[in-house]
Chains A and B, each alone.
Chain A
Amino acid sequence: MSERTLDELGPVDFLVVEFPAGQQYFTGEGALELVKLHDAGIIRIMDVLILQKAEDGTVMAQELSDLPELGELEGLEEQLAQTLAEEDVLHLAAAMEPGSIAAALVYENVWAAPFASAMRRAGGQLIANGRIPIQAIAAAVEADMALEAEGA
């Protein structure tokens, strides 16, 4: 990565994708799509950890480099910034169910960087953000439809 000032960085998000016990169908497709996003410059993968939560609640974390076959992620491993600390692993694993495996991902939204920089230069500051699950939007629309039908 070329040198970039703090003002040029995009917002950084994290996510944890859990694969519950009995629902672990790993084909490499997810890794392929992730690498595509990284290579296209849409996001920059900063950190990846694989978390495993045992039935007794103990958590084991694996570095990408510890995986036997990295596949599509091989080129990515050298570029990771190791953003997550040991205490973060425990914080992230708090959301996991016992018996599950999860991928913890930290990434910069490179696509948003120019817009965010422009907003800052204009005096703007981020005061709220979040994610609306598409299921929640669909549910709200469905509820609206139900109300309209009742009123008809």
Chain B
Amino acid sequence: MPLHPARIAAVGVIGGPVAKTAVVAAAVTPGPSPVAKAAVVGAAVSPGPSPVAKAAVVTAAVTPGRRRF
């Protein structure tokens, strides 16, 4: 690694190996089945035959005043 010499002996700030964000996101997503939820996430952002329905989802997600309990 052709790093700047100052980095070599420096104390790290990250603290440990970093997990891939997708794994973390699945773990904290509400719902009984993170795997199934991940599939829904994929569907929500994937191009497909129903752009109107997806637009409605995104609109609902960012609409002020909406509370989910």
A136 to chain B, nearest CB (A): 5
Q: A82-B6, A138-B41, A144-B68 are in contact. List 9 more A-B contacts (CB 8 A).
A: A63-B2, A63-B4, A84-B13, A85-B7, A85-B9, A86-B1, A91-B15, A136-B41, A139-B41
Residues on A lying within 8 angstroms of B by beta carbon are 14, 16, 49, 59-63, 66, 82-92, 94-95, 106, 130, 133-145
Determine the chain A residues whose CB is within 8 A of the CB of B15 once the complex forms: 91
Name A137's closest neighbour in chain B (CB-CB): B61
Asked whether, in the complex, the Cβ of A95 is within 8 Å of the Cβ of B18, the reply is: yes
B57 within 8 A of A: yes
Determine the chain A residues whose CB is within 8 A of the CB of B61 once the complex forms: 134, 137-138, 140-141
Determine the chain B residues whose CB is within 8 A of the CB of A83 once the complex forms: 13
Determine the chain B residues whose CB is within 8 A of the CB of A133 once the complex forms: 21, 25, 41
A56 to chain B, nearest CB (A): 15
Given A84-B14, A87-B12, are A142 and B40 also a contact pair (CB < 8 Å)? yes
Asked whether, in the complex, the Cβ of A138 is within 8 Å of the Cβ of B14, the reply is: no
**Chain B residues with a Cβ closer than 8 Å to the other chain, count:** 39
Given A82-B4, A135-B44, A136-B25, are A88 and B57 also a contact pair (CB < 8 Å)? no
Asked whether, in the complex, the Cβ of A86 is within 8 Å of the Cβ of B10, the reply is: yes
